[in-house]
Amino acid sequence: MNLILLGPPGAGKGTQAVYISKTYQIPSISTGDMLRAAVAANTPLGQEAKSLMEQGYLVPDDLILRMLAERLQEEDCKNGYILDGVPRTLVQAEEMDKQNILVDKVLNFEIPLDEVVARLSGRRVCPSCKATYHVLFQAPKAEGICDHCGATLMTRKDDEPESIQKRMEVYTEQTEPLITYYQGQQKLFGINALGTTKEVEERIRDVLGESV
């Protein structure tokens, strides 16, 4: 099963990617996570991406496409994959089709943009084990400390107010057109992304069923 998770930043794609990956035993591939790892390791790719990411802009399509193609060659992708945060532009989607990167279903996380802005502003992440929290909706047991590994939680640079604003503009201009693109291919399934994590999981399960 080859899936794309589509939707604005903060819609819960990353959280649900973990659930889908566990339930259906397929890897979740997040280009955002891969880029953040490259930035942390200070690789040439990371150096190119860093300031664009921090300001809320997209990184160039060719860079993303190369990174994705390489990752999909790996052994763990042979029974399927979840693409979280890619494609993000029409160029990326068209190029993926040209390269025969298979897609069975596109889950479109539907949520009002003012709701995601509220979610992103309260988001905290663990720099060590990557767990995510929210100061209001999913607070850690001890303020500012990761429940799982005890590391100090942080706010992503691109969750600062100015970057959030830019990311919403970028989403509307460059990513939202993908909804029509995948509707045209009859692969699009809307997922109401409001409500609890469990509720959203159930909606996803209704769409994906038991099959792998």
Q: Which residue's CB is nearer to ligand AMP, number 12 or number 32?
A: 32
Scanning residues 167 to 196, which ones bind ligand AMP (CB under 6 A)? 167
CB 185, min distance to ligand AMP, A: 18
Pairwise CA distance, residues 63 & 144, whole Å: 34
Cis peptide before 27 (omega within 30 of 0): no
Residue choice 1, 18, 37, 52 for contact with ligand AMP (CB under 6 A): 52
- Within 10 A of 182 (CB to CB), how many other CB atoms are there? 20
- Any idea how long the chain is? 212
In 25-85, the DSSP E strands lie at 28-30, 81-84
Q: List Cβ neighbours of 168 (8 Å cut-off, separation of 6 or more).
A: 8, 9, 113, 116, 117
Scanning residues 144 to 163, which ones bind ligand AMP (CB under 6 A)? 158
Pairing of strands 81-84, 2-6: parallel
CB 61, min distance to ligand AMP, A: 7
Residue 88 falls in the annotated catalytic set: yes
Q: List Cβ neighbours of 80 (8 Å cut-off, separation of 6 or more).
A: 1, 2, 3, 24, 26, 212
CB 211, min distance to ligand AMP, A: 27
Are 106 and 188 in contact, with CB atoms under 8 Å apart? yes
Q: How many residues interact with ligand AMP (rule CB under 6 A)?
A: 18
- Which of 36, 50, 88, 119 is an active site residue? 88
* Binding-site string for ligand AMP from residue 7 to residue 46, where x marks contact by CB under 6 A and - marks none: --x---------------------xx--x-----------
CB 182, min distance to ligand AMP, A: 15
The residues carrying an active-site annotation are 13, 88, 123, 156, 167
For ligand AMP, the binding residues (CB under 6 A) are 9, 31-32, 35, 52-53, 56-59, 64, 85-88, 92, 158, 167
